[in-house]
Amino acid sequence: MSLTLEQVRRVAQLARIDISDAEAESTLGHLNGIFSLIEEMQAVDTRGVEPMAHAQDLAQRLRVDEVTEVNRRDAYQAVAPETEAGLYLVPKVIE
Amino acid sequence: MKQWEVVIGIETHVQLSTQSKIFSGSSTAFGAEPNVQANAVDLALPGVLPVLNKGAVECAIRFGLAVEGQVAPKSVFARKNYFYPDLPKGYQISQYELPVVVGGKVAIQLGQGDDLSEKTINLTRAHLEEDAGKSLHEDFHGKSGIDLNRAGTPLLEIVTEPDMRSSAEAVAYAKALHALVRWIGICDGNMQEGSFRCDANVSVRPVGQKEFGTRREIKNLNSFRFMQQAIDYEVQWQIAHIEDGGRVEQATVLFDPDTGETRAMRSKEDAHDYRYFPDPDLLPLIISRDWIERARSALPELPAAKKQRFVTDFGLSAYDATTLTASLEVADFYEATVVVAGKAAAKPCANWVMVDLAARLNKEGMELAHSPVSAVQLGGLVARIADNTISNNIAKKIFDALWNGEGKSADEIIDKQGLKQITDSGAIEALIDEVLAANAAMVAEFRAGKEKAFNALVGQAMKATKGKANPQQVNELLRRKLA
């Protein structure tokens, strides 16, 4: 299986990455390289093997339900580009 | 004219009542100053890792058990990728292929009185996920303001099968689910604050057609009334649109309460492609049999079981039992009155809770939780009616006295105000004799055949006893005297 240039452009658009035509071409080459690796792996017979959701066969650790955080808004907002009335300001978005 | 069938499925976002967020130790309290409850994890600062809140998982288990679904021994968190400023990570942590609860069912009540019927709505699944923040589009010099206090608040998204066939069924389901999540203590149910939000998937098809029509999803219905209005409008719109030769396009629509209409959100050039994949930051959630059993034993008696018990043990009608199990508070209050008044007085207890108390609370605009008359006080009052210490009329006065805090118990008020019912027939007879002597004209009218005069005499006699006599007894004694 190999990707088309169109698919590369779509994935880039979904990820909000602006790529030039030249970058799309070279990315296509890189991704197809990865896909051929995947193809090799898919050739392995995995019948009867349960897919893993994670590389480590461990269970999720759980946290006790209690509030452990204090208000550090000033510190977080000190590095934000723009804030007002406690809000982070961003370019206008209306769906 | 073609007959149309309506098909509805509902997705509900239930905000879980945990102290802290699903993946961080920030508070979930409502109404705080913007961003004071948004920490490094909620802001998606580089290098942070989510750690799952056990309390949120416990809520999901309770729900799975309450709807008789299957609590998954292993479920997996996935990333749902999309870009929006109130989602700083660029993805929402949710569950996709392996949700925490699979299947389940919710019983709904339809109709009223004798037309009461039940229907089962099947659930597809329920999964845990995090809420996004809030975008404020008021004018901040042409920018949007972002409040991330809500980001990371635990949600349980509950998805039904397309089992509902009318707006009434959809509302009945939403109400039943709302009551249930409050009953089992996993959600405060506050719809104004967004703790319980429904999306309705609505489609229509000609009666008899097997395939579903194309559905449109009405987003963010935060009141039962709006849900009914929105679905009714949407159904009419779809039918009219198809009958006019149009085709329904799959879309997300919003309901405008001001116009009562639904309208499609501007459809994006790109259809959503969330590119779900297992979140590598989170390991699979393993829920042991043991944990499930502990959660099961910690659950309160569920509404359906309690309702059945009210009918069989207390002899209540299905309607009364349904009303009294509308919420856990009402059911607990009612049972506490029966404990005091005795099982034999279960029916009058039901009437006092559903009629007298409910009316008074309603009139004063109060919630049961804040009732000035406690269940123990009300039970004590009903007990005195049951053992004939007081009449129903006097009981209403005592109820008012209890409401106004004029005494700690019905017994105290009966004593203090001398309201004990006079059952000694000798004493009542003496009073009746006085009444007859003082109202010779009425007696004459009665003897002349005027039945109305009799009622007037009963009234006079009751007045003479200050309402403390049993009206039936007065009636009988008076009839005998006048015979």
DSSP assignment of B301-361, as one string?
Answer: PPHHHHHHHHHHHH---HHHHHHHTSSHHHHHHHHHHHHHH-GGGHHHHHHIIIIIIHHHH
Percent pLDDT > 70 in chain B is 98
| Over residues B264-269, mean pLDDT | 64
Mutation to test the B interface, candidates A18, A88, A90, A95, most B Cβ within 10 Å = A88
Assess if residue A89 is contained within a domain. Answer: no
Instruction: Tell me which residue has tokens 């000694």.
Output: B424
Q: Shortest CA distance to B477 belongs to which of B464, B456, B452, B458? A: B458
Pick the residue from chain A with its C-alpha nearest to B91: A15
Structure tokens at B332: 């607990």
Assess if residue A36 is contained within a domain. Answer: yes
Structure tokens at A47: 């019948």
Mutation to test the A interface, candidates B28, B45, B61, B140, most A Cβ within 10 Å = B140
Residue-wise pLDDT tens digits, B286-321: 999 999 999 999 999 999 999 999 999 999 998 899
d(CA B194, CA B252): 19
Q: Which of B64-68, B464-468, B469-473 has the highest mean predicted lDDT (pLDDT)?
A: B64-68
Residue-wise pLDDT tens digits, B316-327: 998 899 899 988
Assess if residue A75 is contained within a domain. Answer: no
Report yes or no: B60 and B101 within 8 Å, Cβ to Cβ: yes
Structure tokens at B200: 């309705």
Assess if residue A88 is contained within a domain. Answer: no
Assess if residue A35 is contained within a domain. Answer: yes
d(CA B340, CA B353): 14
Residue type, B273: D
- Residues 250-269 on B with a CB inside 8 Å of A are 265-266
Give chain A's domain count: 1
B433 or B294, higher pLDDT: B294
Assess if residue A48 is contained within a domain. Answer: no
Q: Whole-prediction pTM value? A: 0.84
Report yes or no: B284 and B99 within 8 Å, Cβ to Cβ: no
What pLDDT was estimated at residue B452?
Answer: 84
- Whether B282 and A60 lie within 8 Å, measured CB to CB: yes
Mutation to test the B interface, candidates A11, A13, A87, A95, most B Cβ within 10 Å = A87
Of B39, B52, B85, the CB nearest to A60: B52
Neighbours of B159 (CB within 10 A): 17
CATH code of residue A14: 1.10.20
Instruction: State the burial class of residue B469 (Cβ atoms within 10 Å of its Cβ: 0-12, 13-18, 19+).
Output: buried
d(CA B307, CA B316): 9
Instruction: State whether residue A25 sits within 8 Å of chain B by CB.
Output: no
Of B20, B146, B270, the CB nearest to A66: B20
Banded pLDDT at B269 (limits 50, 70, 90): very low
The upper half-sphere exposure of residue B459, i.e. CA atoms within 13 Å in the direction of its Cβ, equals 7
Assess if residue A16 is contained within a domain. Answer: yes
B284 to chain A, closest Cα gap in Å: 5
Q: Shortest CA distance to B238 belongs to which of B265, B223, B222, B218? A: B218
Assess if residue A34 is contained within a domain. Answer: yes
Q: In what order do the strands lie in the sheet with B134-140?
A: A83-84, A87-91, B143-147, B134-140
Report yes or no: A88 and B133 within 8 Å, Cβ to Cβ: no
Which residues are B14's β-sheet partners? B156, B196
Q: Which residues form the domain of A32?
A: 5-43
